Amino acid sequence: MAKEMIAMLLAGGQGSRLYALTQKLAKPAVPFGGKYRIIDFPLSNCVNSGIDTVGILTQYQPLVLNEYIGNGQPWDLDRLYGGVHVLPPYQQASGSDWYKGTANAIYQNISFIERYNPQYVIILSGDQICKQDYSDFLRFHKEKGAEFSVAVMEVPWDEASRFGLMVADENDKITEFQEKPKNPKSNLASMGIYIFNWDILRKYLVEDEQDPNSENDFGNNIIPNLLRDGRNMYAYHFDGYWKDVGTISSLWEANMEVLDPEHSGINLFDENWKIYSRNSGMTGHRISADAVVEDSMITDGCRIAGEVKHSILFAGVQVETGAVVEDAVVMGGTVIKAGAVVKHCIVAENAVIGENAVVGAMPTETEKGVATVGPGVYVGEGAKIGPNAMVYNNVKGGEVQ
Amino acid sequence: MINSNVNALGIIFPNSYDNLVPELVTERLMASIPFAGRYRMVDFILSSMVNCGIDNISLIVRKNYHSLMDHLGSGREWDLTRKNGGLNIVPPFAEKSVKVYDGRVEALASILTFLKSQKEKYVVMTDTNIAVNFDFNAFIEAHIESGADVTMVYAEQEIPKALIEVPTESRDMYYTLDLDGERVKRIRINSKDAGVKNLGMNIFVLERELLIDQIGTAYVHGNIYFERDVLAHQLDKLNVHAFKYDGYFARISGMKSYFDENMKLLDDENLDGLFAKSPIYTKIRDDNPTRYIAGAKAKNTMTADGCVIEGEVENSILFRGVRVGKGAKVKNCVLMQDTVIEDGADVEYVITDKKVTITAGKEVKGTNSYQVFVAKNKVV
């Protein structure tokens, strides 16, 4: 039995700019939005779009991700035929190799795709926050009679040169591709989400692999090759919420946007497009009599006795009496001890912020840094972590800039 | 971890004590009554069994069990989708019975064939009107060590007023134990005595072979109730031991106690007493985290996921998906799943069942001794 379309999700990224957060886990496994991890978004999009077969390509620090995905049940992806499969590089008769690039990762899994004999393959990225209906994208792809389609977002012209840009005609047919150009001819940025006809993808992957000079990358090699051969290529306009959370500040910002769905456009409260995740299984959160909670998102297992303003708290976070949390993202299991002040920052999982310690500071005209405390870090009593600091080892006391 | 208790199977009676809370069981049974923000009563005993390695669990239902089946599904959330054992819901007429059962003896008689074909040496049996994080391993070990035929759990407490006040003809019986050391000397039925008693918690353990034997005999003699007809009458023949439980538990004995037991969980010590020992599992709803919008105020509350709070909430338990509108006031309330308190409404000492709406500006107030109850799907 053939599947019409299956998804291949690129989740091998190290996320090196998230350094303190990605020492022991791949970027797609980074927690987001109170009870999710980044990968919940593409996985939930798949299920909500009717895609029931997903290959997840992992490479960097896959342990957390593997355990998190498990049999795929939280996303309803535990299927008899299809479902979710984690695909690390493996040894083959011809030898073994790490995934050399995005295209090579798919190339090494051609036999996985062939088990389902799909007509179309959608290539997804595991490091974006986006709610998108892939079935509408596929409808576009079929209507245009395309062999390759790419989802694009309009970006402001003055930022366009930071992106891979698609130049398209009035029928959305792509005529040119510019990778981070100095003089952009278009403001349609590639979201790194592609639909291929499988026979075309297969042909170009095999050819690309035979080219010793290729970087085996979709953006640098496959797409230029398709253009060179005059293939039917189309740009699909997406105008919903999309964010590449590749840096600490963009990750912090995206979390803050979750707090303001009315304006930011990222609505996690949508009954018709639920984002699924593996549940903490903790009991409801407690807010004690002298606590203050304003404009925040709080989830199961939290215990709040202090002050929480405009922040996102993940499962099991404790905020003790007299502690202040503001404009902060505090991940699961972290304890903010009495009198500690945590502002404008990201504190990763299972950290302890000691009594009267200070982490981060509200932004000023000149200083807008988002302080970061890595997972499991102990910040000692009275210690001070400056707004630009990224801490991944225990801090006994004193000041860290 | 090696499964330490594959040698016991569990039997749960989800309908016991339904009549104590008639308002809550019009469309459900005791086992599926929502409790503690995101759970159903059955979750506690079921999770306790699973956490002790008991993974062959039968629930013998009597009536109104649709909500329970919906809640439990295949048992996946409790890790009970097993090839061997797992979750087994036994509706009336499933095996041999020709009528809906009244007591435990009849219920068990209907699954005798099943019991005979199992391989576990012991059987643990419970009701679901007590929420407790119970250590079945310690219980079974004590039973084996004592050499008793049957061991039953009790707690030292006063008999709840609500139990005594229920009219005799419409009540499931309760039992108090007279003890000689750990040996049960006498089982008193529906005692009205004041003071601290050894009140049975209706948790039992005995060997499967003995249970089959006793139930077979009792059923033939037309007996109905296990405690009254099997245990109480044979205390000279059977070595019945009592096992004292002194941890935290919440016994639902009426609407007032349902309210009080929810409220008690606003004390962190009680909350930890019920939840800290080992995880309690429940059906997953995939709610988003709860959102406090600017202007919201919360004091001394326990709130599950999926709520949106814009108004003021104080001393209350909010279940999943509750909405509290702008300027609304919620004080001393238990609001079940998907309750909507619209803008400006003012509610105090109110228990709302699932999907209740209190419309904008309405004032609904009960008192500490008598809470207003709003039934499922009602709009006030």
Collapsing DSSP to helix, strand or coil, B3 comes out as: coil
Nearest to B290 among A275, A289, A299 (CB): A299
Contact B40, B34 (CB under 8 A): yes
In Å, how far are A156, A369, B31, B334 from B356, measured between CA atoms?
47, 46, 21, 12
- Tell me if chain B has a CB within 8 Å of the CB of A262: no
Pairwise CB contact (< 8 Å): A283 & B284 = no
Sign of CA dihedral A108, A112, A118, A120: negative
Instruction: Encode pLDDT of B155-174 as tens digits.
Output: 999 999 888 887 666 667 89
Identity of the residue numbered A58: T
DSSP output for A109-146: THHHHHTT--SEEEEEETTEEE---HHHHHHHHHHTT-
Amino acid (one-letter) located at A334: T
Least confident of A89-93, B24-28, B45-49, B156-160: A89-93
pLDDT of residue A15 exceeding 80: no
Please report the pLDDT score of residue A367 as a whole number: 84
- Please write the tens of the pLDDT for every residue from A149-195: 999 999 999 888 888 899 999 999 999 999 888 999 999 999 999 99
Average pLDDT over residues B113-125: 94
Mind listing the pLDDT tens digit for each residue in A270-310? 888 999 999 888 999 999 999 999 999 999 999 999 999 99
Helix (H) or strand (E) holding B109: helix B104-109
CA-to-CA distance for B346 and B361, rounded, in angstroms?
7
First to last CA, chain B: 51
Inter-chain touch A35–B302, beta carbons under 8 Å: no
CA closest to A278 among chain B residues: B286
A149 strand-pairing partners:
A195, A234
Q: What is the mean pLDDT of chain A?
A: 92
The predicted structure's pLDDT at residue B209: 95
The rounded percent of chain A whose pLDDT value lies above 90 is 73
Beta strands in A216-257 (DSSP E): 233-237, 242-244
pLDDT band at B72 (very low <50, low <70, confident <90, very high): very high
Measure B265 CA to nearest chain A CA, in Å: 10
- Identify the band that residue B1 occupies on the pLDDT scale cut at 50, 70 and 90: very low
Touching check for B284 and chain A: CB below 8 Å? yes
A 201-260 near B (Cβ less than 8 A): 259
Q: Which of residues 274-303 of A touch B (CB under 8 A)?
A: 274-277, 279, 281, 283-291, 293-300, 303
The verdict on a CB contact (< 8 Å) between A300 and B38 is: yes
First-to-last CA distance in chain A? 59
Averaged pLDDT, B59-71 = 92
Predicted local confidence at residue B29, as pLDDT: 93
Nearest CB partner across the interface for A294, out of B279, B288, B296: B296
Inspect the interface and report whether the beta carbons of A299 and B305 lie closer than 8 Å: yes
> Per-residue pLDDT for A17 more than 50?
yes
Q: Where are the domains of chain B?
A: 8-275, 291-374
Q: pLDDT tens across A45-92, in order? A: 999 999 999 999 988 778 888 899 999 999 999 998 999 999 888 777
pLDDT band at residue A381 under the 50/70/90 scheme: very high
Is any Cβ of chain A less than 8 angstroms from the Cβ of B305?
Answer: yes
How many C-beta neighbours within 10 Å does residue A123 have?
22
In A, residues 63-82, which contact B (CB 8 Å cutoff)? 73-74
**What per-residue confidence (pLDDT) applies to A8?**
97
Q: How far is CA B216 from the centre of its chain?
A: 27
Same fold across B8-275 and B291-374: no
Query: Residue A150 and residue B355: Cα distance in Å, rounded?
Result: 43
> CATH number of the domain at B291-374, please?
2.160.10.10
- The whole-number pLDDT of residue A114 equals 94
The pLDDT, as a whole number, for residue B41 is 97
Is the Cβ pair A274, B293 closer than 8 Å? no
Q: What is the pLDDT of residues B173-198, one digit of tens each?
A: 899 999 999 999 999 998 888 899 99
B267 interfaces chain A, CB cutoff of 8 Å:
no
pLDDT in tens, B262-274: 999 999 999 999 9
Segment B4-15 shows an average pLDDT of 84
A131 close contact with B: CB closer than 8 A: no
Cα–Cα–Cα angle for A345, A348, A351, rounded to 5 degrees:
105
**Overall pTM > 0.80:** yes
Residues 2-21 of B with CB under 8 A from A: none
Choose the weakest-confidence range: B19-23, B338-342, B364-368: B19-23
SS3 B249: strand
Q: Give A372's strand partners.
A: A346, A390
Q: Please, which residues 35-94 of chain B have a Cβ atom closer than 8 Å to chain A?
A: 36-39, 76
Mean pLDDT of A371-398: 91
Give the pLDDT confidence of B217-259 residue by residue, as tens digits. Answer: 999 998 888 999 899 999 999 999 999 999 999 999 999 999 9
Amino acid in position A351: A
Q: Give the confidence band of B5 by pLDDT, cuts at 50, 70, 90.
A: low
Quick one: pLDDT at residue B171? 65
Per-residue pLDDT at B330? 96
- ipTM field: 0.86
Asked whether the beta carbons of residue A287 and residue B303 sit closer than 8 angstroms, the reply is yes
A residues 7-36 lying closer than 8 A (beta carbon) to B: 33-35
Looking at chain B, the whole-number percentage of residues with pLDDT higher than 70 is 96
Given 3.30.70.270, 2.30.30.100, 2.60.120.260, 3.90.550.10, which CATH number is that of B8-275?
3.90.550.10
CB contact under 8 A, B292 and A268: no
pLDDT at A245 over 50: yes
Question: Which of B284, B294, B301 shows the shortest C-beta gap to A279?
Answer: B284
- Residues with Cβ within 8 Å of B244's Cβ and at least 6 positions away in sequence, in order, are B153, B154, B155, B156, B198
- What pLDDT shows up at residue B169? 62
